[in-house]
Amino acid sequence: MICNAANVLRELFDHSQATLSDDKLEWLDNLSACAELEAGNLAKTLEALALFFANSDKSSLPGNETVASILWGLSHQAETISAMVSIGQEAEYLAGKRKAERTKTDNNPA
């Protein structure tokens, strides 16, 4: 497995989700909103790069290695945003499931 921020986030969540408190799950649910902000930032970055390349003299453009590094960085950022959305949604689901189970138990005491 290639180590990047998205994989680290997923791995940590997968290993800890069963032991996370309800408060922490609700906190992680906010990752979806953070991901929306990050996606907007990524879009602005890509737009700025597109404008730069469209309006630059070919002699002033960065070399292939530099462009490849920029694109790899942006792809890792997009993957991290995807992981944030996924973890946020899973946290929201788990918190809702736990709440429903508690409500069911509270309404049907043994």
Q: What is the pTM of this model?
A: 0.80
pLDDT of residue 110: 61
Is residue 20 one of the residues assigned to a domain? no
76 located within any domain: yes
Residue 37 is assigned to a structural domain of this protein: yes
Q: Find out whether 88 and 35 touch, Cβ atoms under 8 Å.
A: yes
DSSP 53-106: HHHS-GGGSPPHHHHHHHHHHHHHHHHHHHHHHHHHHHHHHHHHHHHHHHHHHH
pLDDT band at 2 (very low <50, low <70, confident <90, very high): low
Containing structural domain, residue 40: 29-55+65-96
| Total count of domains within the chain | 1
The 10s digit of each residue's pLDDT in 30-86 is 998 999 999 999 999 999 988 888 887 777 778 888 889 999 999 999 999 999 999
14: in domain: no
Let me know: does 15 contact 92? Beta carbons within 8 Å: no
Classify residue 69: in a domain, yes or no: yes
